[in-house]
Structure 1
Amino acid sequence: MTPKHLTVGSVDHIHQIFRAYRSHGRTGWWFRGQADSSWPLLPKAGRSEFHLPGDRSIKRFNTWCKQAIAYDQNLPDNTWERLAVAQHFGLATCLLDWTVNPLVAVYFACFEHQDTEAAVYCFDPKTFVNENVLDLEELKCNGIGFIPRAISQRVINQRAVFTVHLPPTEEIKVQASPVLTDHPNLVKLSIPSTLKADLLKMTSDYGIDSVTLFPDLEGLSKHFNWETKLMSARKTAA
């Protein structure tokens, strides 16, 4: 089965689409934005520049945990939660970021690579990790869901959830949706580059921006730089 493919035609159109694909808290559709629609739907550990054969990405994560404790004495004890923390601090892991807020996905699709077609994916997960399984080296799975606790402010603000890919080079297997008849559980929304600026202004109007998604000085600086670019563009147009 292949993903359903839609092309977003306007700001109003994407609102109409999201009325059909709703998260219902965390039990319905999940969303992911990618700034380039040609990028594969893979976690960082599965991409060519980070991929290691066998289970070495898990071994790298275990080594990271042994050293990370020196930087944060409050690291979670649970393996899955440590994996989520590592992911949000940029480590190449087997986790792929999703959100239950579609506008967060739109932000990530549109914030960078302004001249490139973007994509927002909608995914309906029905299988979730067993958090009692702590030995990741023994686990084989393909796009199963992981819902973390509120372990960091970024997880909270981004309404973050994850899919798990072991091995990390395997993309999500597209299956029939358990809810919608004759409908796949993965939908790709292509966003033309010409819509990115308007969609980013829309998410900002709704309070989805770098300040709220990255509640630290990095996020504040990103937001100021974005506003400065808009101010500079208006000055040039005048």
Structure 2
Amino acid sequence: MSLGNYDVKHFDSAKELIQYLSPIESRWECQDFVFRGQGDSQYQLVPSACRRHPGSFFSENPTAIFGDKSDNQVLYEQTVLKRFLDGCDNSGLVVPGYSDEVKRLLRGDISERFLPAVTWPRDQYHELLAAAQHHGVPTRLLDWSRRSYVAAYFAATTADYTKSDSQIAIWALNLKRQKKWKTIKIIDPPGGVSRNLAAQSGIFTMQYNSDLMCDDYLASPLEESLELYQHGEQIVNLLKMTLSVCEVPKLVKYCSKLGVSGTTLFPGYEGVARDVVGWAKEHIGIKGFYELDELDADDFRG
């Protein structure tokens, strides 16, 4: 099924989805796809720093510094990035790509930050934004992975189990034509930026903000970018795969059997904790809290 300019494919079972996502399937081998998982299929491909809907970052703060102009939006993003870098400085943490020039720009006059006043962010900010994004700081980057099962894991583990009629989504973006894109940038930082980034085979997309001083700001979802669909050749550019949230516990189990879990994607204590939380959500949701003492040994072995 096609929705707008991208294709949508629904799956009735987690097993069908996991088989379809297999990296040895020719549909993925013949192209250059990256994948993104989202816990709700209603979510658009809009990065955290650019969202405006209720529940998004700072959306309910009436004194938030960003507004309806592009320069306000960029000032907000730069201020958040500067706060992250200042904190790393104070903690003695090394941030890849953090140079004296970048420090000077972020501390300088706002007019200097915007020179040339046509696009944000400039190249020297890309690696910094990748590092901030992977540590939970809101930026205009969208997280993707070169591994389809990693995207499936993130979709499953961010789903709201209480909404039984909802669906998760896994997006597949074809990078074959990326050299022809003007406002969409692929950022593929070295794994040294973050252990998590390396473990997740992480990669980012970023849409530039242009004409900073005059345009009204309007976040443009990636799936609505005409650049993805304008270049003739009949190939799948963007595919959205959906699955009922009722099938999510099975999807988590399949991902685990394929070696994709919190402990493998988040090396360290965070990964172990994520696995425990995922297990608790799955088993408490299925068995019921007061039946935990009736779980058999197999449940505890996963």
Name the TM tier (shorter chain). 0.7 to 0.9
Q: Which runs of 4+ in 1 moved over 6 A?
A: none
The 1:145/1:222 distance shift into structure 2, 3 A limit, reads: same
Residue 51 of structure 2 corresponds to residue 47 of structure 1: yes
The 1:219/1:6 distance shift into structure 2, 3 A limit, reads: same
Structure 1 position 231, deviation (Å): 5.0
Structure 1 position 96, deviation (Å): 0.3
Aligned to 2:264: 212
Aligned to 1:22: 28
Aligned residues: 225
Residue 208 of structure 2 corresponds to residue 194 of structure 1: no
CA-based RMSD: 2.9
Q: Provide the C-alpha distance between the structure 1 equivalents of 2:242 and 2:270, rounded to a whole number of angstroms.
A: 28
Deviations 1:49-71 (A, max 9, x none): 44724222342223432333222
Structure 1 position 184, deviation (Å): 4.0
Deviations 1:71-113 (A, max 9, x none): 2431112532211110011111010000000001001111131
Q: Tell me, what secondary structure is at the counterpart of 1:22?
A: helix
Aligned to 2:125: 79
Matches within 5 A, 1:216-231: 216-231=268-283
Structure 1 position 229, deviation (Å): 4.4
Query: 163-172 or 41-50, which moves further after superposition?
Result: 163-172
Q: Provide the C-alpha distance between the structure 1 equivalents of 2:151 and 2:29, rounded to a whole number of angstroms.
A: 12
TM norm structure 1: 0.82
Residue 150 of structure 2 corresponds to residue 104 of structure 1: yes
Q: Tell me, what secondary structure is at the counterpart of 1:98?
A: strand
TM norm structure 2: 0.66
Structure 1 position 222, deviation (Å): 1.7
Residue 199 of structure 2 corresponds to residue 146 of structure 1: no
Q: 2:178 aligns with which of 127, 143, 149?
A: 127
Query: 162-171 or 81-90, which moves further after superposition?
Result: 162-171
Q: Which has the larger radius of gyration?
A: 2
Q: 1:155 aligns with which of 193, 197, 205?
A: 197
Q: Provide the C-alpha distance between the structure 2 equivalents of 1:223 and 1:230, rounded to a whole number of angstroms.
A: 11
Query: 49-58 or 187-196, which moves further after superposition?
Result: 49-58
Q: Tell me, what secondary structure is at the counterpart of 1:41?
A: coil
Q: Provide the C-alpha distance between the structure 2 equivalents of 1:153 and 1:31, rounded to a whole number of angstroms.
A: 19
The 1:120/1:230 distance shift into structure 2, 3 A limit, reads: closer
The 1:15/1:230 distance shift into structure 2, 3 A limit, reads: closer
**Structure 2: runs of 5 or more not aligned:** 60-65, 98-123, 210-217, 295-302
